[in-house]
Amino acid sequence: MEQKRRKLRIPDLQQRKRNGEPLVQLLVTNHRDAAVADSFGADIITASDAAGLMLFGMDSSTDMTLDDMILVGRGIARNVRTAICLVAMPYWTYQVSPQQAVENAGRLIQATGADGVSCEVNRHHRDAVAAIVQAGIPVQAHIGLSSQRSAQLGGVRGLGKTMDEAWEFVDDASAMAEAGCFSIIAELLAAEVTGHIASTVPIPVISIGSGGSCDGAGGLFEDLYGLAGTHVPRHAKVYHTLGPMLEEGMQNFVADIRARTYPQREHSVVMEAAEARKFKTSITRRNRSTAAS
């Protein structure tokens, strides 16, 4: 009989880093994917603001509001039993002031039941992040590529590929560790940079397209199955391409209904034979009664 996994805690992640055990993180947008990731051993599961694109058809994840993330995060947190569950803080919910950051982080945790929050940050957000941590809410810092700062960073591109830019992200990571973050997720940073960061900060560093020298790796659930759109990110490893399968299934479903080959008897609720005969007889009687009147 398989032993039931216990709920992970923040100190467990730090111990894994010390032991050199790679951590697995999934960014998910719905409760079903969260349950799958949790059942197969993910260590950290984040309710991602990518739900804006994947679920709500928004043009950008920056369109997500705090109420939107509460809706998404609540369903995800309910289905995460053993992993550490985080909720991404949406754009402009923590950038104004430390007080704003604490109030909104607290509302997210209270309304969703998640274990902590994830914030797209740099060293200039240190005070806001420190305030959230001091309020008793675990924070994962998301550095490197940021949808919330895409225009400022020059769009979607690899970062930290020059010496000067590399040190900017090293400073970001150091500031977040000093602010009390329990981990860092580094997205699309040069592998040399994240390797240095992972070896110098005391908290786990998770790579998304940032090389294999970190304390673990992660990605967006939809990217694993080619469901995030027509463009597949270079850093994503697609394990199964489900898009064509879904399209074929829908094409066959529509065709079956048009041809009246679906539904068949095996797909339907039916009466027992005796009841069906009685019902048919009652129809005849009712029709005669109606005609006579």
CB 167 within 8 A of CB 213: no
CA R_g for the chain: 25
Residue 233 lies in a domain: no
Provide the domain count of the chain. 2
- In this structure, the answer to whether residues 22 and 64 fall within a common structural domain is yes
> Considering 120, 165, 187, 266, which one is annotated as catalytic?
187
- In this structure, the answer to whether residues 77 and 215 fall within a common structural domain is yes
Q: Is residue 187 annotated as a catalytic residue, yes or no?
A: yes
Residue 95 lies in a domain: yes
- In this structure, the answer to whether residues 191 and 57 fall within a common structural domain is yes
Cα 92 from chain centroid?
Answer: 19
Give whole-number Cα distances, 195 to 164, 169, 180, in Å: 16, 12, 20
Residue 2 lies in a domain: no
- In this structure, the answer to whether residues 23 and 158 fall within a common structural domain is yes
Q: Which domain holds residue 274?
A: 246-292
- In this structure, the answer to whether residues 112 and 146 fall within a common structural domain is yes
- In this structure, the answer to whether residues 82 and 141 fall within a common structural domain is yes
pLDDT per residue as tens, the chain (293 positions): 456 789 999 999 999 999 999 999 999 999 999 999 999 999 999 999 999 999 999 999 999 999 999 999 999 999 999 999 999 999 999 999 999 999 999 999 999 999 999 999 999 999 999 999 999 999 999 999 988 776 666 666 889 999 999 999 999 999 999 999 999 999 999 999 999 999 999 999 999 999 999 999 999 999 999 998 767 788 899 999 999 999 999 999 999 999 999 999 999 999 999 999 999 999 999 999 888 87
Strands, E assignment, 1-152: 23-28, 44-47, 84-88, 116-120, 139-144
The CA distance from 44 to 209, in Å, is: 17
The CA distance from 192 to 161, in Å, is: 9
Cα 89 from chain centroid?
Answer: 12
Per-position DSSP letters for 152-187, written without gaps between them: HHTSS--B--SHHHHHHHHHHHHHHHHHT-SEEEEE
- In this structure, the answer to whether residues 252 and 159 fall within a common structural domain is no
Residue 235 lies in a domain: no
- In this structure, the answer to whether residues 263 and 131 fall within a common structural domain is no
